[in-house]
A and B are shown apart, each in its own frame.
Chain A
Amino acid sequence: MAAGIPEPAPPHRPVRRTARSIRHHVGDGLGWGLSIFAFLLLAGAFLSIIGDVFLRALPVLHAKLFTEITNGIGGGLKNAMEGTAVLSLGSLLLAAPVGIAAGVYLSEHGAGRWGSALRFLSDVLVGVPSIVLGYVGYITLVIYLGWQFSVAAGVITLAIMLLPYITRSTELALRSIPDAVREAGYALGAGEGHIVFQILLPGAASAILTGIFYAIALSMGETAPLLYTAGWSNYMWNGHMTQEPIGYLTYVVWTFINEPFKESHMLAFAAAFLITFGVLMLILLGRWMLARAQGKLGAYN
């Protein structure tokens, strides 16, 4: 580093611009310029994605989308919207109890070897490609159990994907509650179940809910795990858990864009618009809720 130290300038004399200091100024300018450029490029990509989807979807956002079902090349998106809602909420119903339980375990008893192992496996599960989960769902649920393309197969596959995210957000939420709160509970004679259900989970509710919102957003946007588990249907869901395929919005985006008809393309963009804005709203809502809750008096931070 010695070479990088400039001579201290004597006081009351204008600093002489040496060749080195000019080079440093140019280097600094270049460095900042490149990092600003990197940011602008990413912000531009974000705006381009959002803007493109929005502008192309705008002309087709009729009430028809919400009242009609899809046919081969066009129609509305009523069935797909219903399917996305069923699959997201269904997978959440399965994943939330398990994920929250794992999160509670990690934050309350996670210091030891078992905790590290669980944390590690959860991190590994995040990294499993979603298409692999979809394929396993296909060979086990669809083929081996004979459920065919169905709600149950799609929901279980999605739920496995969501587990590690819910676990992690729950663990982080609970860990931010100080130990003194737990000790106060034990001192009053509460059992562990009481403390978790009546003190810890309500206290961390907003942070956990933010994680749940994130999980819903994630499940809404997924396609790969559903392709070979949920299948596709042009009709409304008839309430059967197995043997009946179900439609969902992301499928519309990826298949209808390959059709040669303008109407199909417009439907694909409309579906993309609905998912993108649904997802972004959920995530922003979660962040806002968390920020608001943390600003409140007596919040655990």
Chain B
Amino acid sequence: MKFPIFRISLVATASLLPLSLVGVIVFLVLYSWPAIQYNALHFLWVNDWDLGNLYGNPITQHGQQIMPGARYGIWFLVVGTLASSAMALALALPLGIGSAIFLSEGLPRTWGTPLSLFVDLLASIPSVVYGLWGYAVLVPLLGQHVYPAMARALSFVPFLGGRPGSGYGLLTTSIVLAIMVVPLISATLREAMNTTDTALKEAGRSLGLSRFQVIRHIVLPNLRTVLTGVSILALGRALGETMAVLMVSGNALNYLPNNIYTPISTMASFIASQLDSALQDPTGMAVEALSEIALVLLLIAVVVNIVARLLLWMERIR
């Protein structure tokens, strides 16, 4: 038998892909090991990120050297990340479903395809440009006009009333994130709607349902799994978004939101914004703690993606 040079080099080259994923996880665990030993998982639900007295002498706690007074609690990041992503998803779902219905069922194909570019191209705009748009357009508009009016009109609703803030904060972040993840939801749903069995739709029509009723009572319930899968996928995108969040969230430190206008930080944006100051810590524990945050974020993203992919695979959508 001939030695299969091609097959072997193909497999060797291709295996760099899984190796790089494994490498990312392994290196992150190795590097954050001291922080994992020091913080365990406890740091997730205690608050206050404090590098301590950087001019003091390092002290030893739990077998690790840290600066005096240093604390690495990130509960505010957990809250900020989950709240902004969940709100983004809540805003993105109706927009995604609505636009998918309009583009795939409400228009003839000759119109639907070019018009869907408006939604699809949203996915290709770089996140830093979203951040710039949020900074230059959304924040002034919302902060000066919309939020004060909203807070006044909804003052009796918990979390919607209170101080409207400057425009940088949880709601602005969620709006930007929602627009960023909507194309994923819309495109996947559109594809799934187009592959829905035509006989099902015709059966509904022949029973006297209107076209919209067919969509509401037949097509959408049929796509429940796809919708769940793609929502989780979109959630994963929103959780890991960095630059846009960095530019519109207000980058709060140690601050828990008390209404939807409050400045926040997310894990991803915190990693990006804090590395410079963490490098000031001579014991290195601050950088390792950041690395542990990255590891937590990675694990959340991986779990979220696995769940979403399994759901979508069940429906044969990739």
**Chain A contacts to B: CB under 8 angstroms:** 1, 4-6, 8, 24-25, 27-28, 31-32, 34-39, 41-43, 45-49, 52-53, 56, 97-99, 101-102, 104-106, 117-118, 120-136, 138-140, 160, 163-164, 167-168, 191-193, 196, 214, 217-218, 220-224, 227-228, 250, 253-254, 257, 268-269, 272, 275-276, 279-280, 283
Known: A257-B135, A275-B126. 10 other contacts (CB 8 A): A28-B211, A38-B98, A42-B186, A102-B13, A135-B294, A136-B28, A139-B291, A196-B10, A220-B126, A221-B129
- CB of B305 within 8 A of CB of A126, answer yes
How far is B124's CA from A214's CA once the two chains are assembled, in angstroms?
A: 9
How far is B159's CA from A263's CA once the two chains are assembled, in angstroms?
A: 39
Q: Is B200 in contact with chain A by the CB < 8 A criterion?
A: no
- CB of B137 within 8 A of CB of A223, answer no
Q: Chain A: interface secondary structure? A: helix
Chain B residues, Cβ within 8 Å of A139: 27-28, 31, 287, 291
Contacting A at CB under 8 A, from B199-246, are: 207-213, 215-217, 233, 236-237, 239-243, 246
Chain A residues, Cβ within 8 Å of B239: 129
Chain A residues, Cβ within 8 Å of B7: 192
Chain B residues, Cβ within 8 Å of A126: 305
Most chain A beta carbons < 10 A, residue from B102, B213, B247, B309? B102
User: Which of B182, B237, B243, B318 meets A254, CB within 8 Å?
Assistant: B243
Chain A residues, Cβ within 8 Å of B96: 38
Q: Is B283 in contact with chain A by the CB < 8 A criterion?
A: no
- Please classify how large the interface on chain B is, using the bins under 10, 10 to 19, 20 to 34, 35 or more: 35 or more
Chain A residues, Cβ within 8 Å of B115: 39, 43
Q: How many A-B residue pairs have CB under 8 A?
A: 269
Most chain A beta carbons < 10 A, residue from B217, B243, B301? B243
Chain A residues, Cβ within 8 Å of B236: 127
- CB of B10 within 8 A of CB of A227, answer no
Chain B residues, Cβ within 8 Å of A257: 132, 135-136, 247
Q: Is B46 in contact with chain A by the CB < 8 A criterion?
A: no
How far is B31's CA from A36's CA once the two chains are assembled, in angstroms?
A: 50
User: Which of A28, A99, A130, A283 meets B240, CB within 8 Å?
Assistant: A130
